[in-house]
A and B are shown apart, each in its own frame.
Chain A
Amino acid sequence: MPADPEKEMSMNDRTLVQIAFYAALTAALGLLPKLAIPVAGGVPVTAQTLGIMLAGVMLGPVRGALSILLFLFLVALGAPLLAGGRGGLAVFQSPGAGFILAWPLGALAAGLIMQKTASWRVLPAAALAATVGGIGVVYLFGIPGLAFLADMSLAKAAAGSAVFLPGDLLKVVVAAAVAETVARGLPSALLSRS
């Protein structure tokens, strides 16, 4: 029995709600029309990976990854929650499947970095976590995935993916700024640091 049963019990519910919250946030970011930024090449870039970054940065590795898994679970069940109203099992057979399947790992990595850099200030720690988790890990799995699924060389796949990079860098800036804001305004919500 924990020392403080009230805390233990409400943390339990709170954790569950927070995991659902970031899954919903990731969904909402794909639906917000005002946040969709069109980028050269016609590739629709949305704020959705911002949800991946934030889940890891705010929740920590395990809860962050679970949150994104939950989001993908809903997508697989047939909810059209991916940007552009995509969803269903088709998503996981599409050429971009590698990127999407890497999302939980990206959140995991971002969460780990937040924990390892606990002595840093929130802003630089979150920026590093979002870059490594939200860009590094996602591309690390996404590009080979694209190469494999579309029968192309890694170089070609990488070149094709590069169009997403400017948008993703912008999202790192936003993720870090949001983490900093929450750390000041509602520190208890930064579960990765508590």
Chain B
Amino acid sequence: MAFFRKRQQNRAAAAFDPDASPYALLEGVSLTLSNRQVLTDISLRLSERRIGLVGLNGSGKSSLIRLLNGLRLPSRGSVRVFGAETKQALAELPRYVGFVFQNPDHQAIFPTVEEEIAFGLTQLGEAKQTARAGALDFLAQHGCAHLAGKPFAELSEGQKQLICILAVLVMQPRLLVLDEPMSSLDGLASRRIHRLLDGLDQKIVMISHDLSLLRSYDRVVWLEAGRIRMDGPPAEVLPAYEVDLEVRAAAPLNGEDL
């Protein structure tokens, strides 16, 4: 019956500073998942407004961003987010760090749009009725009032991802972490979501395979085999990454690096 019990954690222990700069600080971080070394000796200071993360599948991008909201904890080294060691601040992290998953079908928890949005508000302690009203307001602010009562399963891909992002934004996090949010979207939906993200006050760390989306970013980190291969402004990192992709793609197909 243990899982019925409320989480017993020392919640007051973590000292968050919402205005900390850098907002995330990784020092000598390594991560091992089921005997596989996923990240090796990563040190990063993240303070830019918009940071992109590129790299091949399996390079450790998803694990790296999961360190930022405590979904993964480092096997070695330390991760501080808004001044708090993630290990000590798990219960509080979702308040500061919003996380958008790659596949909206995997993120949505509730059957209808309205409930999905209201959940964020009840998580913050609002009563059911006020959360519901707040959700409707929030949807209306973003021009989505007509989606409120719809079943999530009946939305288009773009609508699904939009709702997932709004469901996270309604909690007003300071940092928004996105794991390839555009991968299932068509050109128009992806541009629209990109514009929405662009206008947000939140700091953003985003993984993307669509490099054009990252050109306007402040910084791009290129991850390869669990290590940082390159880190700098997009004008330097993106061309280098593209050249590397071309070189690799030109080699004979061997089924190894796909």
Contact = CB atoms under 8 A, between A and B. Distances in A.
Interface of A: 1, 5-6, 8-12, 15-16, 62-63
18 contacts: A1-B9, A1-B10, A5-B87, A5-B90, A6-B70, A6-B71, A6-B73, A6-B87, A8-B7, A9-B9, A9-B91, A10-B71, A11-B3, A12-B7, A15-B3, A16-B3, A62-B1, A63-B3
Interface of B: 1, 3, 7-10, 70-73, 87, 90-91
B90 A12 contact: no
Pick the most buried of B3, B7, B73, B91: most chain A CB atoms within 10 A of its CB: B3
A3 to B, nearest CB: 12
B72 A6 contact: yes
Contacts of A9: 7, 9, 90-91
Contact of B8 (A1, A11, A62, A63): A1
A62 B4 CA distance: 11
A16 B3 CA distance: 7
A5 B73 CA distance: 10
Given A6-B70, A8-B7, A9-B91, 12 more contacts: A1-B8, A1-B9, A5-B90, A6-B71, A6-B72, A6-B90, A9-B7, A9-B90, A11-B3, A16-B3, A62-B1, A63-B3
Nearest to B13: A1
Instruction: Give the 8 A-B residue pairs with the shortest CB-CB distance, closest first.
Output: A15-B3, A6-B73, A12-B3, A5-B90, A9-B90, A16-B3, A9-B7, A6-B90
B1 A5 contact: no
Contacts of B1: 62
Contacts of B72: 6
Contacts of B9: 1, 5, 9
A9 B1 CA distance: 14
Nearest to A188: B34
